[in-house]
Structure 1
């Protein structure tokens, strides 16, 4: 196994320093210090590794995931120097152990707070895919991420099952609301691997409002989740499994039709707790030997 520390491929370039400067522009140093102060984590001394510099170091690690800690920190320090001057940046070399200790003291709280406040839908109206009929187009979806193979991560997130035992790394599951035009992942909610995406999506959907059109794949459909989502005031457009019963109650001029969803078959039989929806069916042309029918349901009952 090689013992050489990973370095930037061709050394630090001007573009790398500009990247750090851009991070500081999008997440201003004043906001970082304010967030640290609110959580009682501002640096008492400006020697060693100031906590505000550490925040930018963690952000930069996402962009330079395969580069050694010390190399990323050196890049961050040099990139911030034109913005911060020499205050607290006189030491350009900090050991990996010191970095880990500083990260432990700061924790995840400030980063979570900055994410929740800074990462918001931001696409301009003239950008393709951002708006439809005055509504901002958002999409609920989920994914997983490998986490470092450490005891705390294993206990919190768990290992996904494998045909030959457990997998090599713990996995974090998350659900986020993506702005379709910019692909910005907003309001992300993390959880253990075995937690269902629909459960995580409940807190994500709480951020929706009447300015949005929220789309989701068929795995997110359920009566309870649909009702919860409607309460936000957002317009909804979900893809639907073919097994969900949706009788044609009223066919509309454009070929779509109105139907009613119920919590259970018993509720459907007794005609209680129904929610009116609009169903859109379509096929994908050009598929050899088959043209499956796909279904969407929407809360948009009036003509689109």
Structure 2
């Protein structure tokens, strides 16, 4: 790690000595945090749960195993006591109210700034042909069954009233080079314009020229690719199953590789007439068929569409290999949903649900920042390092990094990065696993009616 990086880490550790946190990354500069809070109009008062303390306690909460407010406050009490400060109350009321006061815009700005800083510092060897590749995909999240959550994130029609749970949909832009989450969009799963493509349109302003967007077949629409082209962004997607193709037509580039013109379809309901008229009447698209030779895979070929038209600069095989890397976004979302346990949220209002999601994203980016530092220090790539192993190592070193003396900080940081870099993802080319689990779940009776109704029935029978 460079001397400048060490300096940032030391500054953050000194900053954290008066605040409950973990120095797991040099990305969240204390001065930057202060500027963001002030820009969002956050006023500071001399209280235990200042914006700094609340944010860091929130971060430790989403990084813990149980995500419990009581445990988060208990960690704060332990930290303050260890630092010789007066312990705060064990009651969670003050902390929960402090979380409500946190400005959502401040958290989102911190997520975007940490991702942007890490992408700018990424070495060129982590890029694909010198270009930044972004992965896009969506996921769904469950949350407590409250009236407020049901209003903002209605449950599925297949679930009976009182028996289902609200569901939110997220779409994330994730860097292929570093794994950081550049941005995300949140919406309900039910209703018009709530799909993944609709949420992606809210993220288009976060894309920059010469970047490449990598996604599955749901993003391979005429208007989606046209809107990307307007911003100078290339795309590589699997062809949608409803679109027809014929490799006998168009300009032939190779075997099952050609360039064709897509004709602009009718204006969709969500698009304004002005925007529709600005889009070209045709799009020049490259279509190519890639064979899949891995035994056990569900498919033996893929048809891809892209705006990377030059067969010399971007060969068919290279594009095929790049598309296979799309699976990383599935693993990244699994990391934040399953490893960090964001699949079931805990907050009971839509406003707090949004904050909980964004704080998870901030914690995720900070972990990715540590992985990038470890990769750079030990001449590897962040994608070769285990996310779970990194999180476990950070948890083991966290308290010592907060409380150690300055003269031993550098040694401790280097040891932590070395341990993280040693947790490599297994080299398992062509790995095939059944989509099934061996362990049987415990048998529990399922609620067939709302809980309050079932409780009243039990009381009446008693």
**TM-score of the two chains, using structure 1 as the length reference:** 0.78
Q: Matches of residues 278-293 of structure 1 in structure 2 within 5 Å?
A: 278-286=286-294, 292-293=300-301
The answer to whether 1:95 aligns with 2:91 is: yes
Name the CA shift for 1:153/1:109 in 2 (closer, same or farther; >3 Å): farther
Separation in 2 of the partners of 1:112 and 1:210?
22
More helix by share: 2
Report the secondary structure of 2:293's partner residue: coil
- State the shift of 1:99 in Å: 1.2
Question: Match for residue 172 of structure 2?
Answer: 176
Structure number with higher relative contact order (C-alpha < 8 Å, ≥ 6 residues apart): 2
Question: Match for residue 9 of structure 1?
Answer: none
Number of aligned pairs?
275
**Structure 1 stretch displaced more, 216-225 or 204-213:** 204-213
Separation in 1 of the partners of 2:22 and 2:134?
29
Give the counterpart of 1:300 among 286, 300, 308: 308
Question: Match for residue 49 of structure 2?
Answer: 49
Residue deviations 1:97-126 (CA, integer Å, cap 9, x gap) = 111111222242321222222233527336
Separation in 1 of the partners of 2:253 and 2:189?
42
Q: Matches of residues 14-163 of structure 1 in structure 2 within 5 Å?
A: 20-23=21-24, 25-45=26-46, 47-64=47-64, 66-76=66-76, 90-120=86-116, 122=119, 124-125=122-123, 130-162=126-158
Contact 2:292–2:300 (Cα < 8 Å) also in 1 = yes
Report the secondary structure of 1:161's partner residue: coil
**TM-score of the two chains, using structure 2 as the length reference:** 0.53
**Runs of 5+ consecutive residues of structure 1 not aligned to the other structure:** 1-16, 267-271
Question: Match for residue 240 of structure 1?
Answer: 239
Question: Match for residue 196 of structure 1?
Answer: 195
Separation in 2 of the partners of 1:21 and 1:229?
39
More strand by share: 1
**Runs of 5+ consecutive residues of structure 2 not aligned to the other structure:** 1-16, 268-279, 315-462
Name the CA shift for 1:163/1:283 in 2 (closer, same or farther; >3 Å): farther
**Structure 1 stretch displaced more, 191-200 or 154-163:** 154-163
Name the CA shift for 1:209/1:189 in 2 (closer, same or farther; >3 Å): same
Alignment root-mean-square deviation, CA: 3.1
Separation in 1 of the partners of 2:53 and 2:91?
15
